[in-house]
Amino acid sequence: MGAPCQLETCRNASSDSFGGKGVVDVHRDVVDGHGVATDGAYAMDLFEHAADNDLTGVPLAERLRPRHLRDVVGQEHLTGAAGILSRVLKLGRVPSLILWGPPGTGKTTIAECLAHEANARFIKLSAVAAGVADVRKAVEEARRLRAEQRLGTILFVDEIHRFNKSQQDALLPHVEKGVVTLIGATTENPSFEVNPALLSRCRVLVLKSVTPEALQRLIDKAMSDPHGLAERGFEVDDVARKVLVVAAGGDARKLLTSLEVAADLCESEGRHRIDRGDVEAAVQRRVLMYDKDGEQHYDVVSAFIKSMRGSNVDAALHYGFRMIEAGEDPMFVLRRMVIFASEDVGNADPMGLLVATSALQAFQLVGLPEGAINIAHAISYLAAAPKSNASYMAWKAAKKDIAAHGSLPVPMHLRNAPTALMKSLGYGQGYQYPHDHDGGFVVDHYLPDALQDARYYHPKDVGAEAAIKARLDGLMAHQLAVHATKTEGKPP
């Protein structure tokens, strides 16, 4: 990994290393009074110059963008006192990073905060528009700033997964030498989208969708902050707050954008209390209200499971995506399907569990919106599959006997005999190895003596379980015949 950004005074400004010999002790506004560069053109830092500029037209999300890690909402596992980013800043070092997370979770904000608190120049490139020439230009600018002004550079590449292999390769030597500290932002799994050589020189940090609680705090900040809506005297009623949070779906930027549009619509009618209608007009859709901890949650989940159990594919799809559209965590829906695959489909279609677990893993890889296709695949398969709860009922029956009888002795012939003493006591004696017999089966008893007649699994004559039933019935008939022969005193 290339040398990380350090905060001590630069001792060798001409060094090719960003850390170690080439170090930083200069504020961003020392250089031309600017803070951000895009394609070589520097833009004025919003907050440093707010007093001298009219912020009219600047989006609310941009006006409220934090400048310090401690003010970032929803990523406390990274930015809190015990988070890795706070800890590396205390150590005076900023390593190259890949920030991986959904849209609107603060990837750009965290990168800018790190540059501000590390006193480093911040150059921003968009992988959608930039090419190799732009990378080289940014690197040369970083070299110049180091040599002339002892200033280190954080190069932020937004949507780095859109850089092709040659563009990523162009970054590699400069990250390796520490000419720039790279911070890449991506919504895609970097394991698949970032070159292994570049990935090995960066630490991957995972950002989470912003929680509803954190989004509520963000609404409070927007309503009270002088850079927000405080001076316009708005209020947001409780229902409108919930609708904002649900519509945002964990995206802080989407929440602030919707809130600002709702405020404008409210003000256009001479009102200052934002209600549900204002928010739904702002997001251009009716927002499904769904209390994840209340009665409606349990009602919809119940309807979802019962629709799959009843083999009604359309109803199962309706309730499954109704939960997701209303803000339910898709992983909750997927976990319920994994349970359903064994509880209600079982051995009637053993592929059901594979489909459910594969859908869960696929969703973890791709996320929304494309992951909804994987969810629809699993819902339709499980709902259409033949059903059997025989495995589920077998578990309950076995559990009941265990509770009633406790730890019954294991039959002697089934016990392990690793020592001579145990063999002399009869451990393992009389065990018949099934593979030594025709069909890989031998009549023997396996349950504890007190439960010899117990039978827990009763396969149904449906789907793939019909074949299991036929085999087990055949083995049982053979076993009964052997026992009858022994009872009559004839050789088996």
Helix (H, G, I), strand (E, B) or coil at 35: strand
pLDDT at 37: 39
List of residues 6+ apart from 45 with CB closer than 8 A: 28, 29, 33, 34, 35, 36
Whether the per-residue pLDDT at 1 is higher than 60: the answer is no
Could you report the per-residue pLDDT of 160-182, keeping only the tens digit for each? Answer: 999 988 888 888 999 988 889 99
Could you report the per-residue pLDDT of 183-225, keeping only the tens digit for each? Answer: 999 998 898 889 899 999 999 999 998 998 999 999 999 999 9
Q: What percent of the chain has pLDDT over 70?
A: 85
The shares of helix, strand and coil residues in the chain, as percent rounded to the nearest 5, are 55, 10, 40
pLDDT at 51: 41
Between β-strands 235-236 and 273-274, what pairing exists: parallel, antiparallel or unpaired? parallel
Could you report the per-residue pLDDT of 453-490, keeping only the tens digit for each? Answer: 898 999 999 999 999 999 888 888 888 887 777 666 55
The residue count for the chain: 492
Within 10 angstroms of residue 276's Cβ, the number of other Cβ atoms is 19
CB 142 within 8 A of CB 179: yes
pLDDT band at 291 (very low <50, low <70, confident <90, very high): low
Whether the per-residue pLDDT at 3 is higher than 80: the answer is no
The Cα–Cα gap between 154 and 173 comes to 15
The Cα–Cα gap between 183 and 114 comes to 10
Could you report the per-residue pLDDT of 375-394, keeping only the tens digit for each? Answer: 999 999 999 999 999 999 99
Q: Which amino acid is at 199?
A: L
Q: Residue 369: is the preceding peptide bond cis (ω within 30°)?
A: yes
Per-residue CA distances from 354 to 80, 251, 340 (Å): 39, 32, 12
CB 71 within 8 A of CB 95: no
pLDDT at 287: 59
All structural domains of the chain, each given as residue ranges with its CATH number in brackets, are 5-206 (3.40.50.300), 212-283 (1.10.8.60), 295-384 (1.20.272.10), 415-487 (1.10.3710)
Could you report the per-residue pLDDT of 106-141, keeping only the tens digit for each? Answer: 999 999 999 999 888 999 999 988 888 888 899 999
pLDDT at 5: 55
Could you report the per-residue pLDDT of 216-266, keeping only the tens digit for each? Answer: 999 999 999 999 999 888 999 988 998 898 888 889 999 999 999 999 999
Containing 483, the helix (H) or strand (E) segment is helix 465-487
Helix (H, G, I), strand (E, B) or coil at 178: coil
* DSSP alpha helix (H) spans, 17-160: 60-63, 76-79, 84-90, 107-117, 132-149
The Cα–Cα gap between 307 and 288 comes to 20
Per-residue CA distances from 185 to 38, 136, 182 (Å): 15, 19, 10
pLDDT at 46: 41
Mean pLDDT in the chain?
Answer: 83
Q: What percent of the chain has pLDDT over 90?
A: 49
The Cα–Cα gap between 371 and 261 comes to 29
pLDDT band at 54 (very low <50, low <70, confident <90, very high): low
pLDDT at 38: 38
